[in-house]
Amino acid sequence: MLTLERELLDDLEVGELAVEYDPRDPEEVLEWAIRRFGVERFGIITSFQADGCALIDMAHQIHRKVRVITIDTGRMPQEQYDIIDDFRARYGIEVEVFSPDTEAVETMTRRHGVNLFRQSVEKRMLCCHVRKVLPLNRALRDLDCWATGLRRDQWATRANIRKIELDHDHGGIVKINPLADWTEEEVWDYLREYHVPIHPLYAQGFNSLGCLPCTRPVAEGEPSRNGRWWWESNAPKECGMHCSIETGGFEHEVAAILGNGHRN
């Protein structure tokens, strides 16, 4: 099979681009990425939260064939599958759904049980690693640039994200966060203005969407990430998809579950 050589940028170039594009609108950042890398080597990775949905709409207006990629962890609520279908129907796009490695999931659940995420922070991160991070790594293998709906005001770990970054956790490809300086209100204004499909769980009080057993509604005014892994204290409200989390507690388990070859 022909493997395309990746187009990698260096830190200096990306640093300059980050400064140049920081005051620009999300559409300009998306346009730059699609033009620079081509629609085949660029993808939006989304869980269909409001931010990601706005990005899809913007990108689709720039290029009808924009790639939309999502991770099906195997623990998603039915509404997650419904919103995927809504986007397929509305935009006429293929949504690329990546799933975890069956063997890795089976080994993990045989060792620790199907609800291992309740046992400790390390086991929750192990589950996120097997079900989310590894499929993401696979999805990113044939991309030179990916887009996320991350915003700086979502959580402390996201406060310093730039609109254009180098993603050293994924081979030095480019990661863009076009909505970095948007507020939640701006995202919702956009969705209403362009009649973008909205994930049905928002109407039930959810404000951050994810796996069924690890996500719950939050009270009005409460930070949205509070609805994730609410039983944990002093643990990052991150799953490792957007920043590497090293605790020393689960990495050896990942290696054991995946074998010496460490498939990812």
Which amino acid would we find at residue 238? Answer: E
Looking only at the bridges linking them, the beta strands covering 145-147 and 164-167 are: unpaired
CA atoms within 13 A on the CB side of 199: 26
214 binds ligand SF4 (CB under 6 A): yes
Q: What are phi and psi of 103, to 5 degrees?
A: -65, -40
Looking only at the bridges linking them, the beta strands covering 164-167 and 173-176 are: antiparallel
Work out which of 37, 87, 91, 117 binds ligand SF4, going by CB under 6 A. 117
239 catalytic residue (yes or no): yes
209 binds ligand SF4 (CB under 6 A): no
Q: What whole-number distance in Å separates Cα of residue 264 and Cα of residue 258? A: 8
Q: Sign (positive/negative) of CA torsion 144, 147, 148, 153?
A: positive
Work out which of 69, 105, 161, 239 binds ligand SF4, going by CB under 6 A. 239
34 binds ligand SF4 (CB under 6 A): no
Q: Which stretch binds ligand SF4 (CB under 6 A): 27-35, 84-92, 205-213, 252-260?
A: 205-213
Q: Site mask, ligand SF4, residues 61-90, x = CB under 6 A? A: ------------x-x---------------
* Cβ-based burial of 219 (10 A; exposed 0-12, middle 13-18, buried ≥19): exposed
Specify which residues 88 forms β-bridges with.
Answer: none
Given the residues 53, 211, 239, 243, select the one marked as catalytic: 239
Is the CB of residue 69 less than 8 Å from the CB of residue 44?
yes
41 binds ligand SF4 (CB under 6 A): no
128 binds ligand SF4 (CB under 6 A): yes
47 binds ligand SF4 (CB under 6 A): no
For ligand SF4, give the closer residue by CB, 21 or 229.
Answer: 229
Residues near ligand SF4 (CB under 6 A): 73, 75, 117, 124, 127-128, 131-132, 210-211, 213-214, 239
Catalytic residue numbers read: 239
